Amino acid sequence: KEYFEKFAPVTLLDMLQRIPGVQEILNKNREQRRQARSGGGGAEAQGGRGFGSGGDQILINGKRLAGKNNNINDTLNRVSANQVEKIELIRGAAAGLDVQSQGLVINITMAEGMSTSTTFWKLTGRYFIEQSKIPPSLLVSHSGSSGDLQYVLSGEVKNTRRYASRDEEHFNALGVQTGEKFIDNATITQSVALNSNISYSFEDGSDLRLNGLFDTGRNDRLEEQEELGSQPLHTLWDTDNDVKKWEIGGDYTRKLGGFGQLKALFVVNNEDNAMGIIRDKNILTDVEYQYGQETTNLDKSEKIFRVSLTNNLTSKQSIEAGGEAAFNTFDKAFVDNRRSSVIDPLSLRSSDNVAIKENRYEIFANHTYNFSPSLVLQSSVTTEFSKIVADSITTNTQRDTSFTYLKPRMNLRYDFTSSDQLRLTVEKKVSQLNFNNFVTSFDQRTDQLVFGNTEIRPEQVWDFSAVFEHRFPNDAGSVEAEIFYRDYTDHITKVDFTEYENLAGNNISADEFFALPTADLDILRDTTAFTSKSGNIDGATAKGIKLKTNLRLGFVGLPQAVVSLGYVYEKRRELDQFTLDQIGFNRMSDHTFTYSYRHDITAWDFSYGIEGSFRSKFGNRERNYTWPWKFGPGYKIFAEKTIAGGYKLIAEVWRMDMGTGRSTLTYYDDHRRFNDVIERSEKLHKSPAYIRVILQGTF
């Protein structure tokens, strides 16, 4: 704790930001939460439903936070710095952790046996350079302790904006320009959240922690499109999205003498999401009318219970064994009504309604063997049992499927010296299914329906990695290199679900269909319903390297400045199910580069720095289009100053969403294998940078 005093931290997050490598963990946690909110994730993701043994690499008193929506990243900004006793950096495999290490685990030990009371507040305003509004956000958090009781109570009002625009040039199959399109998009997000974290240490050594969250808000978007050229059109898409969610979680730890230590966790949560979209044509004219109306209603809930027992077998060996049960519901309904003229009534174009119940159970055992102070082997095996019942109300069909997976993991840590460490990991992972793939939806980016598939299976992957880390003396930083290889089974991607037939009406394969004479194909194309959905394939792989370094610049006279650099080369390849070519994964780049620089001038109570990232081009493909992208760089420039009264003023310039760049969307008639281009759109994506100003303090 004394190490951080020179930085005058206000919150726990202020302390962690001074530790090289922690920002990468925070960013990774944020990405896992994003995947979890979307309904699942790939087999490498640690987000999604249930707890599992992976997840947050930041622990408080050796335990993860028993929450999903109420997560560790948000908690760090609500805990007062004066409640922290120490921060431990744990590299590689180690016994007694609440999660399996993915390299570096941060364990925060809270101060005990003292009475404190602190109220933290933070006022935030965003100013977009091309706009004039500065919507404010406010966070107030009261934390305290009295003897063995610790608590954090907070309320937050978020009020944010996001603006994006797009300029398009449209060309026909001959390359002749047919028109232009200009799109302006404004998103308003407003929410009110109440959080609580309470912990109590009993006299017998047991600990109880309880967490609560209530969050309600809206996420509304207005998109105006003006098309010029041979078919001029002026449209407006108005989206209203209301979200309400709550969560209660907790954990209990108790020592049972010779039986070891008991750990139990639970989480119960629910989310309601209602979205309506109104689409108008010919706006600002006498013939303006509503041509489309969509509604999407989602109600999902989760109940998780996890219990384990940890015991020392010998002075060098420990074992943890237990089980987890997760019960999920996911009910989603989609309705799309359209009309082609103002005199026609709105009529149903497409609808889907799916009710899903998933019961997942895990039995696990984790064994840690400390062969010597320099050699640790951690092995685990998890057996997962799941049952998914998906009722399609629209088609009056039901999917009732059970899965059983064995997921072994081995992690070896060897310290050549106190500065050099080797980590070897072999692990089988199984994805969480994204239930959004079960339900038909409308893709506004491509202006077409995306059909659901209730028969999709979880994605499996064998993950092999080797990491070497060298730490420089005197806390001067580290350098790390990793090589990895992943082999996928049931990889989830876009799959051709077309039912192909020849002129005789016999079912044939796609290869046989496209090998038919041209005259036959000309006839069959008019009667064939070309269809694609998310599905499973085999044969996908990924391999690559990760390089990163954190350097304290004392060797150039800046001992309080830290620079971090990271590079990832990940070659992900799968078989394009429509053209049979080897391609990269959808929306995944081969190259990613990240950087950050932070300089704390403690004599002035001032800090400044920059962080950012950029990645190579990537693509998105479907049955009837290709869409390669090249994003511009994202960055954040910041400066922090502690002013009179102990208040901290922070100014930031953001363009971290990488919403700028270029892309080319090419539509094909029926199927890309015909290679009949309908239209090509050259798109210039623009997202203005914004300035964020924060004033925070305590009393």
Half-sphere exposure of 59 (CA within 13 A, CB side): 21
Tell me the C-alpha distance between 687 and 628, whole Å. 19
The 3-state DSSP class for residue 416 equals coil
Q: Which two tokens stand for residue 561?
A: 């400045």
Q: Given the structure tokens 């309705």, which residue do they identify?
A: 335
- Identity of the residue numbered 671: H
Q: How far, in Å, are 475, 484, 512, 515, 580 from residue 509 at the CA level?
A: 62, 36, 5, 10, 13
SS percent in the chain: helix, strand, coil, step 5: 10, 60, 30
The 3-state DSSP class for residue 498 equals coil
The answer to whether 465 and 570 have CB atoms below 8 angstroms apart is no
The answer to whether 33 and 73 have CB atoms below 8 angstroms apart is yes
Q: How far, in Å, are 113, 138, 317 from residue 117 at the CA level?
A: 13, 20, 41
Tell me the C-alpha distance between 70 and 211, whole Å. 8
pLDDT given for residue 419 in this prediction: 92
Q: Given the structure tokens 């969509």, which residue do they identify?
A: 294
The distance from CA 103 to its chain's CA centroid, rounded to whole angstroms, is 19
pLDDT given for residue 60 in this prediction: 80
Beta strands 104-110 and 116-128 are unpaired
pLDDT given for residue 45 in this prediction: 44
Half-sphere exposure of 615 (CA within 13 A, CB side): 18
139-698 is classed in which CATH architecture?
Beta Barrel (2.40)
The answer to whether 173 and 668 have CB atoms below 8 angstroms apart is no
Q: Where are the domains of the chain?
A: 139-698
Tell me the C-alpha distance between 241 and 337, whole Å. 18
Residue 39 phi, psi dihedral angles, 5° rounding: 115, -5
The β-bridge partners of 193 are 156, 215
The answer to whether 236 and 192 have CB atoms below 8 angstroms apart is no
Q: For 81-90, what is each residue's pLDDT tens digit?
A: 877 888 888 8
Listed in sequence order, the DSSP H helices in 383-429 are: none
- The DSSP 8-state label assigned to residue 507 in this structure reads B
Tell me the C-alpha distance between 277 and 279, whole Å. 7
pLDDT given for residue 415 in this prediction: 94
pTM above 0.85? yes
User: Residue 285: which of 339, 234, 239 has the closest Cα?
Assistant: 234
Residue 48 phi, psi dihedral angles, 5° rounding: 100, -160
The answer to whether 498 and 570 have CB atoms below 8 angstroms apart is no
- Identity of the residue numbered 83: Q
Q: How far, in Å, are 40, 205, 252, 264, 327 from residue 255 at the CA level?
A: 35, 7, 10, 12, 28
The answer to whether 139 and 122 have CB atoms below 8 angstroms apart is yes
pLDDT given for residue 52 in this prediction: 67
pLDDT given for residue 507 in this prediction: 96
User: Residue 319: which of 327, 310, 331, 308 has the closest Cα?
Assistant: 310
The answer to whether 151 and 176 have CB atoms below 8 angstroms apart is no
User: Residue 181: which of 665, 626, 688, 683 has the closest Cα?
Assistant: 683
pLDDT given for residue 22 in this prediction: 78
- The DSSP 8-state label assigned to residue 431 in this structure reads P
Tell me the C-alpha distance between 391 and 387, whole Å. 13
The β-bridge partners of 286 are none
Query: What residues of the chain score a pLDDT lower than 50?
Result: 41-47
First to last CA, the chain: 20
The answer to whether 45 and 29 have CB atoms below 8 angstroms apart is no
Tell me the C-alpha distance between 85 and 76, whole Å. 14
